[in-house]
């Protein structure tokens, strides 16, 4: 049983009432709200166990190092990695992907190699590869998706030639909601000897992720979309790959020995965590994934599917409401057009009803243009979204009829 009332109560922000109305938060795909346990954990660490990590023996340093490394293990378990050494803490998914681009990418890609991405990538999984391509002479190729946002097996396989050295693909589109069959994609890519980076920023939030079952080489996500704090992200790197990778940034905490002439670098993950990390944020994220595991990602997934069905039913009843992205396998991210009203006008009206949606190009400008728009309105769900939120969304939307 998915106890939505209990879950809702775990998120203190929903107690807020503005102009006598609750906050209808339909922008979790941009950033999710935080459960009380995460906030409590972070406060507790600051109040009782705070010091720097990895540097000293005294009580507080020892305690916080244990907490920090324990957070790494919680994340290891959450995505079923084989070792906690495969979990690298970064600032966010963007930094995770840039790390791979600037280390593995610059080291391994050469002229005429191909980096293959989908049409549905967020800029974070596009621009770093453009730069690596420029620097190395590799080519960036894009495989097509369908007009409804479906993954097209033929298009992918057509692009997957021997010279493809890296496939960088999203697990779930932040605009269309499409869930990509990444396990299949990875299998096929490995057959031509390509490595695969999964942008799991959305994917990891809405479904169970098992990196060993997927067999991915790199997987990136942000803490803040996963009900954790901002300023913390994760990069999973398969250990057989990370051991040969050069560091990204250099400095403290990531070295083995340093003399004035030469430095040898620590083993992963320390090699990739130069400087004092976001200690308390990492611990907060550890708490968030434990919270999610307790509820069960499968349960969250099926609850969100239920919400999506409910949303689609209501949408079908409303004339002139068009969903952009109707892939067969889709999660709780819904881009839409209503009567051709500009998204900025829509969000203005909705925000007066306390309904939070996202408008714009969603940091996926080529995709938004490919779907035939310059700007798109998007509603997205979290584990705490209520059917009433969806009712209130449609009620607020009808207010637009008064003006347009």
Partner 1 sequence: MENIETLSDNFSFLESWEDKYQYLLDLGEKLEPLDTCFQTDEFKVTGCQSQVWLVPEIKDGKFYFKATSDAMMVRGIIYVLKAIYNGKSIHEIKNIEVEKIFATLGLEGHLSSSRRNGMLSMVEKIRLYAIKAEAQQQ
Binding stretches for partner 1 (CB under 8 A): 341-345, 348-349, 351-352, 359-360, 374-375, 402-404
Question: Is position 201 annotated as part of the catalytic site?
Answer: no
Residue 37 C-beta: closest distance to ligand PLP, Å: 21
Phi, psi of 320 (to 5 degrees): 70, 15
Residue closer to partner 1 (CB basis): 301 or 380: 380
Query: Does 204 sit near ligand PLP (CB under 6 A)?
Result: no
Contacted by 349, from partner 1, ligand PLP, none: CB < 5 to 8 Å by type: partner 1
* 195-199 and 164-170 beta bridge pairing: parallel
Q: Which residues contact 296 (CB under 8 A, 6 or more apart)?
A: none
Residue numbers 218-257 binding ligand PLP by CB under 6 A:
222
Q: Which of 33, 98, 174, 242 binds ligand PLP (CB under 6 A)?
A: 174
- Sheet strands (E) in 161-271: 164-170, 195-199, 218-222, 233-237, 255-258, 263-265
Contacted by 153, from partner 1, ligand PLP, none: CB < 5 to 8 Å by type: none
Query: Does 290 sit near ligand PLP (CB under 6 A)?
Result: no
* Cross-strand pairs, 196: 167
Residue closer to partner 1 (CB basis): 234 or 349: 349
CA 9 to chain centre: 24
Single out the catalytic residue among 37, 201, 216, 363.
Answer: 363
Tokens describing residue 356: 């939070």
Q: Which of 33, 98, 202, 347 binds ligand PLP (CB under 6 A)?
A: 202
**3-state SS record for 69-85:** HHHHHHHHHHCCCCCHH
Nearest to 127, CA basis, from 104, 97, 106, 103? 97
Sign of CA dihedral 207, 210, 216, 220: positive
Stretch that binds ligand PLP, among 154-162, 195-203, 344-352, 394-402 (CB under 6 A): 195-203
Residue 338 C-beta: closest distance to ligand PLP, Å: 23
Stretch that binds ligand PLP, among 68-76, 99-107, 199-207, 337-345 (CB under 6 A): 199-207
Contacted by 201, from ligand PLP, partner 1, none: CB < 5 to 8 Å by type: ligand PLP
Alpha carbons 382 and 31: distance in angstroms, whole number: 10
Query: Does 358 sit near ligand PLP (CB under 6 A)?
Result: no
Tokens describing residue 362: 């969603």
Query: Does 98 sit near ligand PLP (CB under 6 A)?
Result: no
Q: Are 23 and 355 in contact (CB under 8 A)?
A: no
Say how many Å lie between the first and final Cα of the chain, rounded. 42
Q: What is the per-residue DSSP string for 120-131?
A: T--GGGTHHHHH
Contacted by 122, from partner 1, ligand PLP, none: CB < 5 to 8 Å by type: ligand PLP
Contacted by 119, from partner 1, ligand PLP, none: CB < 5 to 8 Å by type: none
Q: What is the DSSP letter of 180?
A: P
Q: What is the DSSP letter of 57?
A: -
How many angstroms separate the Cα of 92 from the Cα of each of 171, 256, 376, 385, 390?
Answer: 16, 26, 24, 24, 29
Residue numbers 100-159 binding ligand PLP by CB under 6 A:
122, 124-125
Query: Does 201 sit near ligand PLP (CB under 6 A)?
Result: yes
Q: Which of 136, 170, 347, 385 binds ligand PLP (CB under 6 A)?
A: 170
Residues that bind ligand PLP (CB under 6 A): 92-94, 122, 124-125, 170, 174, 199, 201-202, 222, 363
Residues with active-site annotation: 363
């Amino acid at each position: 049983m998915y106890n939505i009332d209990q879950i809702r109560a775990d998120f203190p922000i929903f107690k807020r009432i503005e102009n006598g109305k609750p906050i209808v938060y339909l922008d979790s795909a941009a950033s999710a709200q935080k459960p009380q346990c995460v906030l409590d954990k972070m406060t507790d660490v600051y109040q009782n166990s705070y010091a720097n990590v990895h540097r000293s023996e005294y009580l507080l340093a020892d305690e916080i190092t244990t907490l920090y490394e324990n957070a790494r293990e919680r994340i290891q378990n959450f995505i079923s990695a084989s070792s906690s050494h495969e979990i690298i803490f970064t600032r966010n998914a963007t930094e995770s992907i840039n790390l791979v681009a600037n280390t593995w990418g610059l080291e391994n890609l050469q002229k005429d190699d191909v980096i293959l991405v989908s049409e549905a990538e967020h800029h974070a999984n596009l621009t770093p590869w453009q730069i690596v391509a420029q620097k190395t002479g590799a080519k960036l190729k894009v495989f097509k998706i369908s007009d409804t946002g479906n993954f097209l097996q033929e298009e992918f396989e057509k692009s997957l030639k021997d010279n493809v050295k890296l496939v960088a693909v999203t697990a779930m589109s932040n605009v269309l909601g499409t869930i990509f069959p990444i396990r299949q994609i990875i299998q096929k890519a490995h057959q031509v000897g390509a490595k695969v980076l999964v942008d799991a920023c959305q994917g990891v939030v809405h479904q169970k992720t098992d990196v060993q079952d997927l067999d991915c080489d790199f997987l990136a996500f942000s803490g803040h979309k996963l009900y954790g704090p901002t300023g913390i992200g994760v990069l999973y790197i398969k250990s057989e790959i990370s051991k040969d990778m050069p560091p990204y940034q250099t400095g403290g905490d990531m070295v083995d020995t340093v003399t004035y002439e030469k430095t040898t670098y620590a083993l992963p993950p320390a090699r990739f965590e130069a400087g004092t990390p976001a200690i308390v944020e990492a611990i907060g994220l550890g708490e968030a994934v434990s919270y999610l595991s307790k509820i069960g990602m499968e349960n969250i997934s099926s609850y969100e599917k239920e919400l999506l069905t409910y949303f689609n039913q209501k949408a079908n009843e409303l004339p002139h409401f068009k969903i952009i992205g109707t892939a067969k396998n889709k999660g709780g991210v819904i881009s839409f057009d209503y009567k051709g009203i500009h998204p900025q006008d829509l969000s203005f009206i909705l925000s007066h009803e306390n309904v939070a949606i996202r408008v714009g190009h969603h940091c996926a400008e080529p995709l938004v243009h490919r779907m035939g728009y310059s700007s798109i309105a998007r509603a997205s769900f979290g584990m705490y979204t209520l059917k009433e939120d969806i009712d209130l969304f449609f009620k607020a939307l009808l207010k637009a009829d008064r003006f347009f």
